[in-house]
Amino acid sequence: MSRKPRINPLKEIRELVAANRYRLVPHAIARKIERSVALRDILFVLNHGFHETSQDGFDIKRQSDRYAIRGKTPDGIDIRIAVAIDNMVVIITVIKLGK
């Protein structure tokens, strides 16, 4: 994964998701099961959520920028999704926020 700066990562994420160019790493699969978050909810938040820049970071293991997308599912559950972009959206983890 590259370290090139992204002007609008949310736009790029949405374009890639619309083209079905995404994958969940094993950690994200485990967390989505553990936290009872459906894939459709993850994709909904990636398409309708906001870029939570204060939670962005650099993933040392993958040597890539990590972006945080936050939003509510159609059922009103507040979640944050950590992703990287490498010719596709790499979904790293899913976090349920609030109660």
Alpha-carbon gap, residue 28 to 69, rounded angstroms: 14
Is residue 59, in this structure, part of any structural domain at all? yes
Is residue 1, in this structure, part of any structural domain at all? no
Alpha-carbon gap, residue 31 to 94, rounded angstroms: 6
Partners of 96 in the beta sheet?
Answer: 79
Instruction: Count structural domains, the chain.
Output: 1
Region of 45 on the Ramachandran plot (φ > 0 left; ψ -120 to 50 alpha; else beta): alpha
Q: What pTM value is reported for the model?
A: 0.89
Please report, for the domain that includes residue 65, its CATH number.
3.30.2310.40
Residue range of the domain that includes 64: 9-96
Q: Can you give the pLDDT of all 99 residues of the chain as single tens digits?
A: 445 556 789 999 999 999 999 999 999 999 999 999 999 999 999 999 999 989 998 878 777 889 999 999 999 999 999 999 989 999 999 999 976
- Identity of the amino acid at 97: L
Region of 12 on the Ramachandran plot (φ > 0 left; ψ -120 to 50 alpha; else beta): alpha
Is residue 82, in this structure, part of any structural domain at all? yes
Is residue 23, in this structure, part of any structural domain at all? yes
Is residue 2, in this structure, part of any structural domain at all? no
Is residue 54, in this structure, part of any structural domain at all? yes
Is residue 36, in this structure, part of any structural domain at all? yes
Residue found by looking up tokens 């790293």 in the block: 92
How is residue 87 annotated by DSSP? S
Is residue 42, in this structure, part of any structural domain at all? yes
- Identity of the amino acid at 48: H
